[in-house]
Copies of this chain bind each other. A is one copy, B any other.
Amino acid sequence: MLANPIPWPDGKRCAVALTWDVDVDSGLRYAQPDKADTLVATQSFVRYEPTIAIPRLVELFRKLDLRLTFFVPGWVIERYPSTVELLLKNGHEIGLHGYMHERSNQLTQQDEALVLGQALDAYSRVIGGRPRGWRAPGFAFSKHSLDLLIDAGFDYDSSLMGNEVPYLLQGKAGQLLELPTDWTSDDWPQYMHNRDFGYTMPIASPARAMDVFRAEFDAAHAYGALWISVWHPFLSGRLARLHAIAELIDYMRNREGVWFARLDEVCDHVRGLTAAGKWNPAVEQPTAYAA
């Protein structure tokens, strides 16, 4: 089913990157600056991430010997540094996710650049150096994002939805590797119900949500694709759901040839393939129509 199948390391059949977006209260504060502090239950709902969910995730993935990618807004990096430290100490990757979970495509180019600078400053001050990966908050990658990210030295983005294998985004001054995902692999449409966020959807059982995710994995496994989940610790880190995820991981591990990887490892693998002339990603111009 894949037009341009990618060879995975050691002859593996597919790659799985279980990624997490750690928004905590950034998006809530950004979207509702005057009200966020009095939405106390919803604050407790999302601040559950640093206090409960992340330590739990770290412990689970330590037991499972898995290292994953977490996308974190700059403001969250600054405000919850011990959470960031805990993730790093356990071998997880931290990618950037805006500064205050801003939707980039609702900003001017100048504001987007300022926000990106703020986020990078937070990253370098707390973590040191530069992040390799970016996921646009709310998947709201703008027509300016590509060039801003290339200029800022990012190696990859994981916000777009244009393929099931990595591909290259051609910008003005270079290229950025795209590690694509999809709303289908996000836990939001399965679990989100909260009026303060404006969502009044039914809530699926963990088994039901896993049906959706397992189907994505099964297809990736059958056809050799890269499957990237987009999960949120305040949703999927709750006991029943994380239990179901542990079972899903067990299921995946019992399938032959699954490469569990952080996104920076996927990025390195693609670079290695390209350098060795073993595989070339497709090249796309995601903002070509903007001209």
Point out residues on A near B: beta carbons under 8 Å.
Answer: 1, 3, 25, 35-45, 47-48, 51-52, 55-56, 59-60, 105, 136, 138-146, 159-164, 180, 182-184, 188-191, 193-195, 199-208, 211-212, 215-216, 218-220, 222-223, 225, 238-240, 242-244, 282, 284, 286-287, 289-290
Q: Is the CB of B203 within 8 A of A205?
A: no
- A202 partner, pick from B52, B143, B201, B242, beta carbons under 8 A: B201
Q: Is the CB of A41 within 8 A of B189?
A: no
Residue of B nearest to A237 (CB): B1
- A37 partner, pick from B164, B205, B223, B287, beta carbons under 8 A: B287
Q: Is the CB of B205 within 8 A of A223?
A: no
Distance of A174 from chain B, by nearest CB (Å): 17
Cβ–Cβ < 8 Å partners of A212 in chain B: 203-205
Cβ–Cβ < 8 Å partners of A51 in chain B: 162-163, 282, 284
Q: Is the CB of A223 within 8 A of B238?
A: no
Cβ–Cβ < 8 Å partners of A40 in chain B: 105, 141-143, 145-146, 159-160, 286-287
Q: Is the CB of A238 within 8 A of B47?
A: no
Q: Is the CB of B203 within 8 A of A190?
A: yes
Q: Is the CB of A45 within 8 A of B184?
A: no
- A139 partner, pick from B41, B162, B216, B284, beta carbons under 8 A: B41
Cβ–Cβ < 8 Å partners of A239 in chain B: 1, 164, 216, 219-220, 222-223, 225
Q: Is the CB of B43 within 8 A of A3?
A: no
Cβ–Cβ < 8 Å partners of A290 in chain B: 37-38
Q: Is the CB of B162 within 8 A of A44?
A: yes
- A45 partner, pick from B60, B182, B205, beta carbons under 8 A: B182
Distance of A167 from chain B, by nearest CB (Å): 9
Complex alpha-carbon distance, A3 and B10, angstroms:
37
Known A-B contacts A55-B3, A243-B219; A161 and B38 likewise in contact (beta carbons under 8 Å): no
